[in-house]
């Protein structure tokens, strides 16, 4: 009888996802490669002082090695829905990893800062394909009833990997220099590419009409967000609102308005913005973006605070956020299962409350705050992020029909990364504008920036509780 039951479960599992052993192998290989791409998001944070000195650039230009990477990742992610419907997922993943390896190789030999920045954008191109792809694959190999678990597993790398980036790079930089970061990342990715040829399969479910690429939409989307990113960067560099950043903001906003209008009118949009007519998808996506803002801002600003305000080393700044990163890795699968069992609203309440509390506590920190307290507060915020980011991603995708799954993950990934990059730059600008020193980093500016974050998180909580539809859970 037990064998009959097991056989029946296996048949059901295979019809709605992949068999357990096969999906474990597929996800393990893809997660290894995507982990390298995600770690690369933040590994340059600890190296910034050294790189700035070596190439003679200021902090505003230096931080582009991180923010432009994340920003480009978000832009490329928007194109992935088209690629997923057109290209075998195995082929697409291998191509993304090859692109990432090429970027690592270019960074090793970059003779100047502009070429180093270009190599980072090449890496981001590969990451921008791999990150939404693994989410589509995870949701394809798991049955819909286990979407929370699927996103929890993906959350292990989306949340955990960028958070440990500064810690890993701190050790590598202190021991072998900043170029060793790219040697390690490139070597890991080469191994992943070799394994992919033998163990991966095309695991993506494709329903509905095949996507067509709209070049005009891609151009508008890129120009729009690039304009806003330029405005943010120039404002951060100059420390004031002037004509150039305002014009860049305005031009970017107009391009994005035209983009949005076009997506709702054409038959094959780059991003199917009509998904936002689904209220669950729309509200959940907003919460994901806010959680990403809190996560990225903390991951960048806390190491800067430890180094520039408290005088700690690159290794110390990385170790300060390491326990929180480990905690996030453990919590993402847990919160995914909680979503499957209890729904989204309890997680929104718990996540928002913890995140606001931790953020306000950070606002009160100064140069005399013990490093252990910084570590604890970062961990507290991590709990809030874990309750919101990946559970709300799963909740949003579960609200869409299967044929819109690739579009939904592309939208969420793109918006999450772009908003994270823009918000991080904006929050650094806030810190720089109110700081009293030339570096733009002091305890007062740090506190003001975190107070702004707390206010945004509180607004997100209100939006979630007021507008997210209630769903009756089966007992």
Quick one: tokens of 139?
């949701």
- Neighbour-count burial for 231-240, b at 16+ CB within 10 Å, e otherwise: bbbbbbbeee
Residue 341: the pLDDT is 85
DSSP state of 306: I
Residue 236: the pLDDT is 59
Q: Tell me how far apart the alpha carbons of residues 33 and 11 are, in angstroms, rounded to a whole number.
A: 30
pLDDT in tens, 295-316: 888 877 888 788 778 888 777 8
pLDDT in tens, 34-77: 888 888 877 777 777 678 778 877 666 776 787 778 778 777 87
| Radius of gyration for the chain, computed over Cα atoms and rounded to the nearest angstrom | 21
* Range 230-239 average pLDDT: 65
| Residue 399 banded pLDDT, cuts 50, 70, 90 | confident
pLDDT in tens, 144-191: 677 767 777 776 676 667 767 777 877 788 778 888 888 988 999 999
Per-position DSSP letters for 390-416, written without gaps between them: HHHHHHHHHTS-GGGHHHHHHHHHHHH
Q: Which of 117, 102, 128, 108 is nearest to 60 (CA)?
A: 117
Residue 97: the pLDDT is 92
Q: Tell me how far apart the alpha carbons of residues 431 and 434 are, in angstroms, rounded to a whole number.
A: 6
- Neighbour-count burial for 421-442, b at 16+ CB within 10 Å, e otherwise: bbbbbbbbbbbbbbbeeeebbb
* Range 336-342 average pLDDT: 83
Q: Are residues 217 and 414 in contact, defined by beta-carbon separation less than 8 angstroms?
A: no
* Range 387-400 average pLDDT: 87
Q: Which of 343, 83, 57, 93 is nearest to 200 (CA)?
A: 93
* Range 112-139 average pLDDT: 86
Residue 352: the pLDDT is 92
Distance of CA 221 to the CA centre of its chain: 18
Over the chain, what is the mean pLDDT?
80
Rounded to 5 degrees, what angle do the CA atoms 31, 35, 41 make? 150
Q: Tell me how far apart the alpha carbons of residues 343 and 416 are, in angstroms, rounded to a whole number.
A: 22
Q: Which of 375, 374, 379 is nearest to 330 (CA)?
A: 379
Question: Which is higher by pLDDT, 97 or 408?
Answer: 97
* Range 373-394 average pLDDT: 90
* Range 233-248 average pLDDT: 67
Q: Are residues 305 and 441 in contact, defined by beta-carbon separation less than 8 angstroms?
A: yes
Question: Which is higher by pLDDT, 188 or 475?
Answer: 188
Residue 160: the pLDDT is 67
Residue 289: the pLDDT is 92
For the chain, percent of residues with pLDDT exceeding 70: 85
Q: Tell me how far apart the alpha carbons of residues 322 and 420 are, in angstroms, rounded to a whole number.
A: 20
The listed range with the strongest mean pLDDT (99-113, 126-140, 151-165, 205-219) is 99-113
């Amino acid at each position: 009888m037990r064998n009959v039951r097991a056989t029946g479960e296996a048949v059901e599992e295979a019809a709605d996802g992949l068999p357990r052993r096969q999906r474990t192998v597929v996800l393990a290989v893809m997660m290894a490669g995507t982990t390298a791409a995600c770690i690369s998001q933040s590994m340059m944070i600890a190296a910034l002082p050294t790189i700035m000195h070596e190439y003679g650039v200021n902090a505003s230009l230096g931080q582009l090695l991180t923010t432009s990477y994340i920003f480009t990742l978000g832009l490329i992610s928007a194109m992935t829905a088209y690629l997923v419907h057109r290209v075998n997922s195995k082929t697409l993943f291998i191509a993304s990893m090859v692109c990432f390896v090429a970027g690592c190789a270019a960074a090793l030999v970059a003779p100047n800062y502009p070429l180093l920045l270009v190599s980072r954008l090449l890496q981001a191109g590969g990451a921008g394909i791999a990150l939404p792809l693994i989410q589509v694959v995870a949701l394809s190999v798991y049955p819909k009833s286990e979407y929370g678990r699927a996103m929890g597993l993906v959350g292990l790398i989306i949340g955990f990997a960028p958070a440990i980036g500064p810690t890993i790079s701190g050790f590598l930089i202190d021991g072998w220099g900043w170029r060793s970061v790219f040697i390690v990342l490139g070597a890991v990715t080469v191994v992943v590419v070799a394994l992919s040829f033998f163990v991966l399969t095309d695991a993506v479910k494709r329903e509905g009409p095949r996507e067509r690429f709209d070049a005009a939409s891609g151009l508008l989307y890129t120009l729009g967000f690039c304009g806003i990113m330029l405005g943010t960067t120039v404002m951060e560099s100059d420390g004031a609102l002037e004509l150039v950043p305002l014009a860049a903001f305005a031009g970017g906003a107009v391009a994005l308005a035209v983009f949005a209008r076009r997506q709702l009118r054409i038959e094959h949009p780059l991003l199917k913005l009509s998904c936002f007519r689904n209220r669950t998808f729309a509200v959940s996506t907003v919460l994901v973006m806010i959680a990403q803002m809190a996560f990225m801002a903390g991951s960048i600003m806390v190491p800067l605070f430890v180094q520039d305000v408290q005088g700690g080393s690159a290794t110390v700044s990385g170790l300060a956020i390491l326990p929180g990163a480990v905690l996030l890795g453990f919590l993402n699968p847990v919160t995914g299962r909680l979503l499957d069992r209890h729904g989204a609203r309890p997680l929104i309440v718990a996540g928002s409350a913890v995140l606001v509390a931790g953020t306000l506590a950070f606002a009160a920190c100064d140069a005399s705050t013990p490093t252990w307290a910084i570590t604890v507060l970062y961990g507290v915020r991590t709990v809030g992020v874990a309750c919101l980011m990946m559970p709300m991603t799963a909740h949003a995708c579960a609200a869409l029909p299967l044929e819109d799954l690739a579009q939904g993950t592309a939208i969420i990934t793109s918006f999450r990364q772009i908003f994270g990059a823009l918000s991080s730059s904006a929050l650094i600008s806030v810190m720089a504008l109110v700081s009293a020193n030339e570096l733009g980093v002091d305890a007062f500016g740090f506190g003001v920036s975190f107070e702004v974050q707390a206010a945004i998180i509180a607004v997100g909580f209100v939006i979630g509780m007021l507008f997210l539809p209630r769903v009756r859970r089966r007992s």
